[in-house]
Structure 1
Amino acid sequence: MTKTSTDRFFVELNSVGAEIAGPDSAISKASKQAVEAPGPLTFVKAQEALSQLSDDLRDQILKQVHLRLRTDVEAIWDQLPHATRSDRPN
């Protein structure tokens, strides 16, 4: 099953948040919940945890999330409206 861009964002946020802020941080816990139980409530909680970080830490996390997403060929391919699974180069 193809992951949505929202799913991919929270998976990367969970990974990067744990690496940068630590696995016991509020952002790591909230983003882990968003990955394990995706839905509006867990997404909002993760976004709130992200907004409560210091500007520097939030920028560092989002910069790394963006880097990972923009270099994920599979994610990019999945967003192409006329791309079929058989046409995938990867």
Structure 2
Amino acid sequence: MNDPADARFFHALKQICSQSDDVDQSCREAIDRAVETGHPRDLLSARQSMDTLDAALKDRLLRQAHLIMATDISAIWDALPMAADPSKQRPN
């Protein structure tokens, strides 16, 4: 995966889906494959698999995945301009 946000999103989604019995096996496998390979074809397949879920379930899963991403301090730190400077140490 080229975009770190995509990687974090699918990792969060995988974590959430693994905790829900409401997500069917084919959807879980598509998300697992997207996380494993990062290939655009697999990312698209995972997104399309999510689109087949019940709308309320999909919304709940996406809300939970976005909450994980929004509270990921390491991701926030990595997005800061000073994070690119190897001489800087993370404060956390």
Query: What's the TM-score once normalised by structure 2's chain length?
Result: 0.83
Equivalence for 2:89: 87
Counterpart for residue 59 of structure 1: 59
Letter in 1 for 2:60: Q
Secondary structure of the corresponding residue to residue 81 of structure 2: coil
- AA matched with 1:52: T
Which residue of 2 is the match for residue 7 of structure 1?
7
Instruction: Report the equivalent of 2:35.
Output: 35
Unaligned segments of structure 1, at least 5 residues: none
What is the distance in 1 between the residues matched to 2:79 and 2:37?
23
Alpha-carbon deviation of 1:87? 3.4
Residue pair 1:17, 1:61 contacting (<8 A) in 2 also: yes
Q: Which structure is larger by alpha-carbon Rg, 1 or 2?
A: 2
Distance 2:14 2:70 in 1: 17
Q: Which amino acid aligns with 2:34?
A: A
Which range moved further: 79-88 or 43-52?
79-88
For residue 88 of structure 1, report the CA deviation from its aligned partner: 1.4
Number of aligned residue pairs: give it.
88
CA contact (8 A) 1:30 1:46 kept: yes
Q: Which residue of 1 aligns with 2:47?
A: 47
Deviations 1:41-74 (A, max 9, x none): 0100000011110111101100110110001000
Whole-angstrom CA distance in 2 between matches of 1:77 and 1:11: 18
RMSD of the TM alignment (CA)?
Answer: 1.9
